[in-house]
Structure 1
Amino acid sequence: MSATPKTQFGYGYNINHKKIQKFNNLPIPKVGPNEILLKIEAAGLCLSDPHTLIAGPLPQQPPLKNKEKFIMGHEIAGSVYEIGSEIEKNLKNTNNKYQKGKRFALQINYCCGHCEFCRIGLDGSCSSTNQAYGLNEDGGFQQYLLIKNLRTLLPIPDNVSFEDAAVCTDSVLTPFHAIQKVKHKIQPTSKILVQGCGGLGLNAIQILKNYGCFIVATDKKEDIKSTALSYGANEFYNDIEEDSNHESQSFDIIFDFVGIQQTVDISNNYLKKRGTLSMIGLGKFQLILPNFLFAVREIEVIYNFGGNSIEQIECMKWISKGLIKPNVTIVDFNKLPDALEDLINDKVRGRVVFRPNKL
């Protein structure tokens, strides 16, 4: 293996700017005794990235304070490039788990492993820390990333690409997590509406089709119709209220991957009594829910954010078995700012992934 370079470049957040910044001549961190240097093989672009630039990073949990600058990119997959001295000593006792060249996807949040949520397997809701790769700590929009919390390293199956593994950390995991919460309600006769066929919505359709339910998908983009149908949607509409004959209060479950007032209002119109609204999209910071109308129909509203490490490992198994095929477009890392503008301007279909070490 060639010597580790001394510097790299990356893209990230600067408190003084609303657009992503390129950082040149970044020093590559030295590896501590119990740390790993990960070579970034793939990093995904997400709508949370422009949200971070506009609204600021995910708030840190005191006494930590938000950083004024950090490298963004929270969908990350890579290979072990360098290991710390203590890990080197213990390799025989860990079955070479962290051997150089081993492939890992990252769990986005820094799970502590000992809080009440981590101890019951809900490490995605860790209460001890609110640190997250690319959202308030250095992430994957660079060539090398120092891993201090080894719990965040999740092994990638041999037949899963780095690109698919990176996308799995959020674009697949988030809808998977939301669906797992309500899967006990999904029957072959269940009628389900998926609002929004972006990166997450398309993956939700692929996950849902494995439950044999009837899936109706909606999106304002007409050109996404063929993809949604090929992924498992039974019907697709640009405007379900104008274009379809579906009766009001006729859906058992609605997954909202948009998160704006219009989609909430559509859910109110189409959810049947004792139906479930699963909120995932973050299109607006605040929404008005029809309190009385939801109450008298006993509508269940569930909010979702990310997922847990065991679910992420399961997602990669689904990809390995061909049950999910992420819709990935690989873009030159040097063109990251342009790809981000395309995402903001609704020109992206599926998920954009960069390969920082293939320049």
Structure 2
Amino acid sequence: MPTQIGYGYVKGATEITKFIDLPIPEPGPNQLLLKIEAAGLCLSDPHTIIGGPLAPKPPKPMPTKFVMGHEIAGSVYRIGKDLEDKPQFKPGSRFALQINQACGACEFCRRGDDGNCSESSQAYGLNEDGGFQQFLLIKNLRTLLPIPDNVSFAEAAVCTDSVLTPFHAIQKVRDRIKPSSKVLVQGCGGLGLNAIQILKQYQCHIVATDLKPDIEKVAKSYGAHEFYTNLNDSKHEPMSFDVIFDFVGIQESIDISNKYIKRRGTLSQTGLGRYKFKMPNFTFAFREVEVFYNFGGSSAEQLECLQWIAKGWIKPNVQLVDFEKLPQAMQDLTNNKIRGRVVFRPNKL
């Protein structure tokens, strides 16, 4: 059987593991083999190495080894015999993948919220084989989302998380965002920069913060009206922001939100910088602050994100890195040396 190269999780390892003899599977009758054209790197990847994979739904056991990479785009390489009469799956067709393996039949899936599927907790690259390899067997065809012609594989790959997650977070509170709204975006990494571009379409006043001063130029080019490395050094008054998006998720960012959110303001919490932190329960209560937590998004939202990219409303900040440099890129990401989103091309060794 032919083999391929990949990178992934091995229980007990302290860094990502290189696999040099992964078998290239043959698709079954209703399956297809996807040639990986782009796979994005995310902070969830080093988090997986440190904290372990996403827990599967029992009785499925916790995996001890799998290929990582959850931001995936590719082209159909080979199809099973039962797909030969389905032109949408012909070889060469371009798809991005929905990360979670939604069932399509549960209560949440049937109402369009398949990002919260209650019957499956399987996710590409987070607890089963993902995109840090050259070919991926697709068993669940509903995870395949077509890529518009004028969207690149790299853009489509990061769209599955880096664009989808802030898009989902913003859609949940969009009725609170008006042209007169003052909105704070904390953290201008991959998600935050895309959030700024999305928020620009709502014509609100956007204030961005990040500890890295060199991010200011790109943040403003994407639509931020103001940028600060420390909001406390600005002229903004406490309790003056209508909506705050926290893409950092540490105690310090929570403290900033507590200081600057208005009465009856909205806090959208997305960043996963820490596993735990303390929320200011009493002050949020008497100010009637609404807090929303976010994780990923639905397939319908992902398709919409791809259309936004196709229209030029979102231009993901991506940099292509050689696949064999993946371990170093992950280390650089952990050490805060990465700007924007890193994307690998596994079939371009």
Post-superposition shift, 1:63? 1.1
> For the residues of structure 2 that align with 1:186 and 1:292, how far apart are their CA atoms?
25
Q: Which of residues 10, 20, 35 in structure 1 aligns to 2:6? A: 10
- Cα displacement (A) at 1:116: 0.1
Residue 83 (structure 1) aligned with residue 73 (structure 2): no
Residue 87 of structure 1 and its aligned partner are, at CA, apart by 1.0
Q: Which residue of 2 aligns with 1:114?
A: 105
- SS of the aligned residue for 1:25 comes to strand
Partner of residue 294 from structure 2, selected from 304, 309, 317: 304
The answer to whether 1:349 aligns with 2:339 is yes
Please give the alpha-carbon distance, in whole angstroms, between the structure 2 residues aligned to 1:237 and 1:16: 40
The question of 1:30 aligning with 2:26 is answered yes
How far is the alpha carbon of 1:18 from its aligned partner?
Answer: 1.5
Hey, what does 1:129 align to over in structure 2? 120
Q: Deviations over 1:240-272 (max 9, x none)?
A: 01x201000000000000000000010000000
TM-score, with structure 2 as normaliser: 0.99
The correspondence for 1:263, drawn from 248, 253, 256, is 253
* Partner Cα separation in structure 2 for residue 40 and residue 198 of structure 1: 24
Indicate the residue corresponding to 1:335 in structure 2: 325
Q: 2:115 & 2:213 partners in 1: Cα distance?
A: 35
AA at the equivalent of 2:209:
T
**Aligned-partner SS, 1:211:** coil
Measured in 1, the distance between the counterparts of 2:56 and 2:102 equals 14
State the match for 1:248 in structure 2. Answer: 238
Report the counterpart of residue 41 of structure 2 in structure 1. 45
Deviation at 1:226, TM superposition (A): 0.4
Aligned match for 2:62, one of 45, 62, 66: 66
Q: SS of the counterpart of 1:289?
A: coil
1:320 paired residue number: 310
Shift of 1:123: 0.2
Q: Structure 2: how far apart are the matches of 1:86 and 1:220?
A: 53
Q: Which amino acid aligns with 2:284?
A: F
Give yes or no for the alignment of 1:226 onto 2:217: yes
Out of 126, 134, 144, the position equivalent to 2:135 is: 144
Matching residue within 278, 297, 316 for 1:288: 278
Residue type at the aligned position of 2:330: L
CA distance in 1, matches of 2:316, 2:152: 11
What TM-score do you get using the length of structure 1 for normalisation?
0.97
What secondary structure does 1:254 align onto?
Answer: strand
Q: Runs (4+) of structure 1 moved beyond 4 Å?
A: none
Matched, 1:213 2:204: yes
Aligned length: 349
Name the SS of the counterpart of 2:163 in structure 1.
helix
CA distance in 1, matches of 2:29, 2:12: 35
User: How big is each residue's C-alpha offset from its partner over 1:165-217, in whole Å with a ceiling of 9 and x where there is no partner?
Assistant: 00000000000000000001110000000000000000000000000000000
Deviation track 1:300-325 (CA, whole Å, cap 9, x = no partner) reads 00000000000000000000000000
Establish whether residue 100 from structure 1 lines up as the match of residue 96 from structure 2.
no
SS of residue paired to 2:173: helix
- Distance in structure 1 (CA, Å) of the matches to 2:291 and 2:176: 14
RMSD: 0.6
Deviations 1:91-114 (A, max 9, x none): 2xxxx1101100000000001000
Instruction: Measure the CA separation in 2 of the matches of 1:185 and 1:295.
Output: 19
**5+ residue gaps, structure 1:** none
Q: Give the Cα–Cα distance (whole angstroms) in 1 for the partners of residues 280 and 314 of structure 2.
A: 35
Deviation per CA, 1:31-71: give whole Å up to 9, x if none.
Answer: 10000100000000000000000000000001111110000
The CA distance in 2 between the partners of 1:19 and 1:13, in whole Å, is 8
In structure 2, what is the Cα distance between the partners aligned to 1:204 and 1:103? 25
Q: CA deviation at 1:30?
A: 1.5
Shift of 1:25: 1.1
Q: Distance in 1 between matches of 2:332 and 2:201?
A: 32
Structure 2: where are the runs of 5+ without partners?
none
Secondary structure class of the residue paired with 1:97: helix
